[in-house]
Structure 1
Amino acid sequence: MGSSDSKQSFRNAVCQLTSKTTPIEATDDGFWKQLIWNDAIHTPNDIFTLVEPEDVRTMRDTCPSNLATICYKAVEHLVAVSSGLSAISTASDQRATLNSVRLLIRILPFVFEDPNWRNFFWSTISDKADQTNQDTGETSSPLAHSLLSAIANLLFSPDFTVLPSTKAGPDNPDDLTSFDSCEFIWEAGVGCSASPGSNAKLDNNRAELLKLLLTSFSEVIYLPPSDASPVNRWVSFFTSGENRHALPLLTSLVNVVFAYDPVGYGLPYYHAVVVDFRERLVEVAVQILIITLDNEGEASQPGTIEPGTTQPELQFQDNLFCHYVSRLYREEDFHFILYGFTTLLNNPLLQTYLPNSCKKIHFHQELLILFWKLCDINKKFLFYVLKSSNVLELLVPILYHLNLCRSDPAKTGLMHIGFFILLMLSGERNFGVRLNKPYQLKVPMDLPVFSGTHADLLFLVFHKVITTGHQKLQPLYECLLTIMVNVSPYLKTLSQVTSSKLLHLTEAFCTPWFMFANSTNHHLVFFLLEIFNNMIQYQFDGNAQLIYTVIRKRSIFHELANLSTDPQSAIKPRRLLQGDHPARETSNQSTAKQPVASSDDGQTPAATAVEVAQTVHPPTLAREGSTSSRAAAAESDSVPQDRWVATKEWIQSWKQKLPLQTILRLLQVLVPQVEKICIDKGLTDESEILKFLRHGTLVGLLPVPHPILIRKFQPNAGTTLWFRTYMWGLVYLRNIDPAIWYETEVKLFEIQKV
């Protein structure tokens, strides 16, 4: 009865706050005790149940003074308890502190929702602020500064978020504003060699404070993309020199994430018996990291850094989180971070004999974004990753998710970040060389059976994405082929299966009805020809299977060399012949043939009900205006005026630039020799032909090798905005317990209920 009565009193207090006739004074301690000191509130969901969205909107629109007062009272309590080491030592004080945190989490989204309220936390409330300043001796500052500073202090509050210090005497300060928080780093790892220990209560309190921090950062999602500033003022203050806990907090977040072991002791179904309190903390810690590292202030983007050079020390001076990350250099720190990445990203791939006996994490998308940000900010870390053999342990889970999510339109963002990471890695020679390591894992992917290297796995997944992926992935085709071009000069051998799939892509993209569908499709043909040229010129000796497949499919290249410059004469025969090849998978037939894949992709329950429609696409890599080849084949001869129409002059302008010389010269030399061997020896087994090709040479017969051209990812304003949109859309979907931003008017991205 006592608990239900307390909850009823809490609800009654909320109703009073929404009443026009009863403005509540900040000095009415009896009233605020019903809200902040209520002992019946045990979880954030209790607050979200008792305070409905319409309650907050009613306060905001009809009783603004009450909304201002409740925000002030909650922040006032957090400031008060964060000013001393023993201020929240009792259970009652801790409960009141958590209630203040939960109230602010519930209220803040509705404050950000209204343009007239967004500056509320960035202005001082004169009467109340002056009274507080007289009591505390502090100078007047915006409410946002007080809130963020209080959160930072509370994240290192003994017996609330960290274990109490064992020191005594003058080395043990009396308040949170003067003690050294570097001694209270949450977990061993970067900058801390010994684990200080923790427990479920500390982890839960940390997670709730970080949720409030995350909510305070979310003002940006209520601004349309055109109005969104690249600098988030909440993040800017929290990551500035005003936050004296910036270094220990960054270190704590990094260490908590990368020291996390979801498997634990490895006992089957252990996660079903023992509650993992650390997982909730790790999830929100990753989200805080990607948001704070995305806000780089006024500093310029880091340029290309060569191996062995150092980062400019003050490059991220406006954001201490970015600054400290850019200063990391110790190999033991890089090893700790990389090992954490590989452990967590490979967790969803674990296979056991007992179904669902191993715990699986679901925050792999946040980890991929964090990996991208760390490599972007600290080039020394990127070079460490590339020189390490563990880079392949990152590659496999990325390819796993790309293959699994290729037909899910709601996972387009995951596909983008996965391909962008691979593009970044492929820009370095070490990555291409590492791909020659044999692939021996048994990761469940619906790919053709093959025996080969990690390069084979990469090419086969890309082929699967192009041939059976969702049509929303069409703008990424150039990115996929660019990755393949970047690594192709270093691939010593491709399997027969991979070679056939590569020729299949070439055959599909070289069909005139696809090349002429718009003004950019022919670029894909150039990329494919460059792949063949790189492997012929630089890796001929080990690629007998590829050379043999090229010889077998030589008609593709001869037809391309003799491509008619008359668009109509080229398209019509293809339309007539299309029915003769019903098994051909064209590059855009995703709606005709769906892959058979597991639906257990770690998707959160929210993602099944809400789809975040990304409204911004990276213009640097996107191939705009591409049309479905299937649709092109079905169109009538009548062409709308606004549709792209290929002309003879346009075809001639790029046909003469096709890099076919190396391939045609190879065919000119090898085809007669292979045919002669087959006739003379009566061969019907391809093994003898492959043996001949392995021992053959084209030295002096091919054109002069062309220089290796590597294309790297170039960030711009469009890609930055896309990443921010994708990141916040992901955070929106992941925070469903409680659903912090549901039922609010988000403008950064579109919410679609399905």
Structure 2
Amino acid sequence: MGASESKLEFKEDIFRLAGEEDIAIESQWWTRFLQLPETAEDVQALWSTTDLRSLTLNTPTDRPLPNTQTSPKKNVETLIYRTIGRLLTLQTRRVYSDPNSPIAPEVLNGVRILTRLLPYIYEAEHLHDWEEQFFWTPRKPVSYVDPKNNKSKYFDGLDETKSVSEEQRDTPLGPPLGEQLVDILINYLFFPNFTLPARKDVNGLPELKPSYIVWQSGIGANKGVGMTKENEKNAVEVLRLLLALSSRALYHAAGIVAERDNKPLTYLTTQCDRQITLNTICSLLNTVLKYNQNPWTFPIDLGGPTKDTKQPLVTSCLQFLLVLITYPVPNNGANEFRKALGRLHRAEDFQFIVEGLRQILIQPASGMFRPVQRLTSTVPPIAPETLSLFWELLQCNKRFRSYLIDTDRARDFVVLVLYYAIEAKDDPAKQGTVRMCVFILQTLSVEEKFGQKLNVPFTFHETLPAVLQIANFHGSYADFLIGHIHTLLTSSNRGLESLHPALLAIVNNIGPYVQDLQRATSSMLLNVFVSMSQPSFLLANESNHLLLVSLLDAINAILEHQYEENRRFVEVIVKSRKRFEALRDFTVDGALAEVDRMAMERKDAGEATGHRSPARPGSLDSTRAPASTRSSTLNNVPEDSAFSIGDDEEDEEEQTSNLSSPTSAPTSALDDAVPSQSRNMSEKARGKQPIGQTSFSHTTSRNTSTTSLHALHALQTSTSHQNFTPTPEWLHTFLPHLPLHTILTTINHAKEPHPRANKAEDAGAVPSATTKHAGEGGEEEAKEGKLLPGRFCFISQMLIDMVLL
């Protein structure tokens, strides 16, 4: 369609669709839309947004208001019928005088027209009922008024040459039009001379029968079909239309998407023949995993469009594959594509998957690309979708998850996943990537063997990209993982707050297995504890205490199961004993007094700077003070750096006393960590206060936290919690039940060594690295993501010894 006259004529045909009413379906004029365009750009440019919206806006004479429309123009129905009918005809019989003529141009134009039109139908709310009736009810004859005698004529919409008598006008002609369109498109994915190489039938003519075979070698096939570049381009066009047809959910409100039935996807995932299902999923998966196997062919980003002709096909395959395997069938129906993915079991298939995923994800993190780092793309364009595919594989196929961990490849993926999380954490537009990475790690962490595999020394830290390196790092994979979890927890991006429960759940799940944690890693965990145990954090909203409970459970898991193997961690806990004792002494009265004290300090700071705080002094209104008026009264508690550990108690107090807040009188970090009502109490008096022994249940709710750790020294508020006011009744629900018993018993045991404790250790009371951490059913609970219960053997022995003394 290179000539300007041809384009002008085609544009006039489009104008005629909107300007002329009820063009007859049997007119040969409709074939112009399928025969004239030569490229995808022609269809995109000539079918403008204005033209398409004018077709979906139909104002009948009896309903003059546009908002009352219930159907598009009659010509839209005819255009859809003629386009789908032509696609079916080209697939089932020879229509050209020359039987060797290629069918691709007409097929591509029909596919492109529907791809262009469907989104405008979906976005028009007034067409929802019409769309449901037109596409998803049994197909009936279509009627048109004969201008010669003003009588209605009836035709089969998919075959304009087949007329229907008036008596049969209500008789169904076949399955719904939408289902037929899905079947036609799936057949074109496996159609010779279109998406597959040319084939001849027994008469030497081009084959018109779909051939359901896997496109690429890999899973389900030892040899590929040898698709040409033209075949690949045609497959991209068909996949785009399938994606557009399945995109109905994009036009629903977020809260009701899961409740709506996406008819094309329901039909695809439940009604397709098993052979079609298996060949489709293997073709899509193999095409993605075989992409870019030669690392030196990785596309170079020079600021222009990519020259990689394979990338559009891989991207479309990956997107359509994810749509198929993640679709929740209504009424808890079985998704056959997801079932097929979950049934994979051969080791060679898993090896193929692992290598393919790794090859895509490793590109920006690979050391071999450092010489051209400024030229290569930072992140592969399909990396987010690849991470999604990896997560879905981990969830729906337990054998794959076990294979990944048993072969030690899980450690490699921990590094890769952390790279994408850290690289994207400060970009609000990439929060979805960070979430996906965290959920991948959480899914892996529920496996017992995963935690054990993390105790291997991390020996290639210096070869990692700069964004992934930890200063002065030395330790195991567990140290590396916890270090970057600390980075994500203390990130300044408030959009990551909802991930804090999942991040703490990872530490909680691997806690019973990690050994020989380094001092820096232990300090990071204590750093997070100090921030979460501040009154300003606990009283900020009604759910922040759950994060503290989760962190305490993680610390308990390490102490209960790997006490002997984590001497540095135990030492850090003991050195920080006053932090835990302060939390133990954090009573309801002290909490309320702390709120009033902080309100007074903010008021004094406001008067000193000439700005008054809107919060009332001496009341709980201070918890709702805007962030801009809050005073940093707890800045002396380190939050974004490693928690300082001295050689003894005096060194600890000496170090913390040098970190006083610039807006208040110089006080030690310890005093700020201890509630005001307990600061004048003696150590002996504090020790007499009760220790909560009831452990709070672990939670992994994604919306638990609304407070960012980078500002835990101030009272944080959010839109959903701006009216929250802490009350004594609310404080009583969790303060007496904080799981501090294990930690404080460990501290007391370390502070007061005695012969009986040593004998208990010699007798094996303290669990070794191989102590079983759970009773019957522990493995099943771990796989469900639940916390593993401890056996308090060494704590019980210490309590007996203390009583005897």
Counterpart for residue 371 of structure 1: 390
- Select the residue among 606, 626, 635 that pairs with 1:581: 635
Secondary structure, counterpart of 2:216 in structure 1:
coil
Counterpart for residue 340 of structure 2: 324
- Select the residue among 60, 72, 89 that pairs with 1:80: 89
Offset of residue 292 of structure 1: 1.1
Offset of residue 266 of structure 1: 4.7
Please give the alpha-carbon distance, in whole angstroms, between the structure 1 residues aligned to 2:353 and 2:554: 34
Counterpart for residue 28 of structure 1: 27
Offset of residue 11 of structure 1: 1.6
Kindly tell me: are residues 438 and 636 of structure 1, through their superposed partners in 2, closer, same or farther at Cα, counting changes over 3 Å?
Answer: closer
* Structure 1 position 354 matched with structure 2 position 372: yes
- Select the residue among 101, 111, 126 that pairs with 1:101: 111
* Structure 1 position 68 matched with structure 2 position 77: yes
Please give the alpha-carbon distance, in whole angstroms, between the structure 2 residues aligned to 1:23 and 1:135: 19
Please give the alpha-carbon distance, in whole angstroms, between the structure 2 residues aligned to 1:636 and 1:201: 58
* Structure 1 position 662 matched with structure 2 position 742: yes
Q: Which amino acid aligns with 2:39?
A: H
Kindly tell me: are residues 165 and 417 of structure 1, through their superposed partners in 2, closer, same or farther at Cα, counting changes over 3 Å?
Answer: same
Note if contact 1:37-1:95 (Cα within 8 Å) is conserved in structure 2: yes
Please give the alpha-carbon distance, in whole angstroms, between the structure 1 residues aligned to 2:743 and 2:94: 75
Q: Which moved more, 1:354-363 or 1:2-11?
A: 354-363
Q: Which moved more, 1:134-143 or 1:353-362?
A: 134-143
Offset of residue 298 of structure 1: 5.1
Note if contact 1:665-1:702 (Cα within 8 Å) is conserved in structure 2: no
* Structure 1 position 18 matched with structure 2 position 40: no
Any idea what the Cα deviations from partners look like across 1:457-513, whole Å, max 9, x if unmatched? 221222111212422222221111111100111111222221211110010001122
Offset of residue 391 of structure 1: 1.5
Kindly tell me: are residues 225 and 148 of structure 1, through their superposed partners in 2, closer, same or farther at Cα, counting changes over 3 Å?
Answer: same
Kindly tell me: are residues 321 and 267 of structure 1, through their superposed partners in 2, closer, same or farther at Cα, counting changes over 3 Å?
Answer: closer
Q: Which amino acid aligns with 1:148?
A: V
Residue-pair matches, total: 637
Q: Which amino acid aligns with 1:284?
A: S
Q: Which moved more, 1:214-223 or 1:372-381?
A: 372-381
Offset of residue 106 of structure 1: 0.6
Offset of residue 14 of structure 1: 1.2
Q: Which amino acid aligns with 1:117?
A: W
Q: Which moved more, 1:321-330 or 1:128-137?
A: 128-137
- Percent sequence identity is 26
Offset of residue 285 of structure 1: 0.8
- Select the residue among 156, 160, 164 that pairs with 1:129: 156
Please give the alpha-carbon distance, in whole angstroms, between the structure 2 residues aligned to 1:666 and 1:465: 29
Please give the alpha-carbon distance, in whole angstroms, between the structure 2 residues aligned to 1:86 and 1:373: 44
Secondary structure, counterpart of 2:3 in structure 1:
helix
TM-score where L is the length of structure 1: 0.76
Counterpart for residue 424 of structure 2: 405
Offset of residue 84 of structure 1: 4.9
Any idea what the Cα deviations from partners look like across 1:308-342, whole Å, max 9, x if unmatched? xxxxxxx83xx432232232222211221222122
- Select the residue among 435, 443, 451 that pairs with 2:465: 443
Counterpart for residue 244 of structure 2: 215
Q: Which amino acid aligns with 1:158?
A: P
* Structure 1 position 239 matched with structure 2 position 239: no
* Structure 1 position 251 matched with structure 2 position 285: no
1:574-653 pair list within 5 angstroms: 578-579=632-633, 581=635, 584-585=638-639, 621-624=701-704, 626-627=706-707, 643-653=723-733
Please give the alpha-carbon distance, in whole angstroms, between the structure 2 residues aligned to 1:453 and 1:136: 76
Kindly tell me: are residues 661 and 457 of structure 1, through their superposed partners in 2, closer, same or farther at Cα, counting changes over 3 Å?
Answer: same
Q: Which amino acid aligns with 1:354?
A: V
1:44-193 pair list within 5 angstroms: 45-62=41-58, 64-84=73-93, 93-114=103-124, 115-119=128-132, 120-123=134-137, 124=139, 126-127=141-142, 128-129=155-156, 132=159, 140-165=174-199, 169=202, 176-177=208-209, 180-182=211-213, 185-193=214-222
Secondary structure, counterpart of 1:348 in structure 2:
coil
Structure 1 alignment gaps of length 5 or more: 301-314, 588-618, 675-692, 716-754
Kindly tell me: are residues 508 and 197 of structure 1, through their superposed partners in 2, closer, same or farther at Cα, counting changes over 3 Å?
Answer: same
Q: Which amino acid aligns with 1:216?
A: L
Note if contact 1:266-1:358 (Cα within 8 Å) is conserved in structure 2: no
Counterpart for residue 730 of structure 1: none
Q: Name the structure, 1 or 2, with higher relative contact order (CA <8 Å, separation 6+).
A: 1
Q: Which amino acid aligns with 1:181?
A: Y
Note if contact 1:83-1:175 (Cα within 8 Å) is conserved in structure 2: no
Note if contact 1:133-1:140 (Cα within 8 Å) is conserved in structure 2: no
Please give the alpha-carbon distance, in whole angstroms, between the structure 2 residues aligned to 1:702 and 1:326: 38
Offset of residue 659 of structure 1: 2.5
Any idea what the Cα deviations from partners look like across 1:579-620, whole Å, max 9, x if unmatched? 463673379xxxxxxxxxxxxxxxxxxxxxxxxxxxxxxx96
Larger Rg over CA atoms = 2
Please give the alpha-carbon distance, in whole angstroms, between the structure 1 residues aligned to 2:83 and 2:255: 33
- Select the residue among 418, 430, 434 that pairs with 1:415: 434
1:501-520 pair list within 5 angstroms: 501-520=524-543
Structure 2 alignment gaps of length 5 or more: 59-71, 143-154, 165-171, 602-630, 642-698, 787-805
Q: Which moved more, 1:53-62 or 1:478-487?
A: 53-62
Offset of residue 352 of structure 1: 2.1
* Structure 1 position 336 matched with structure 2 position 355: no
Q: Which moved more, 1:645-654 or 1:535-544?
A: 645-654
TM-score where L is the length of structure 2: 0.71
Please give the alpha-carbon distance, in whole angstroms, between the structure 1 residues aligned to 2:535 and 2:49: 56
Root-mean-square deviation over aligned CA pairs: 3.8
* Structure 1 position 564 matched with structure 2 position 587: yes
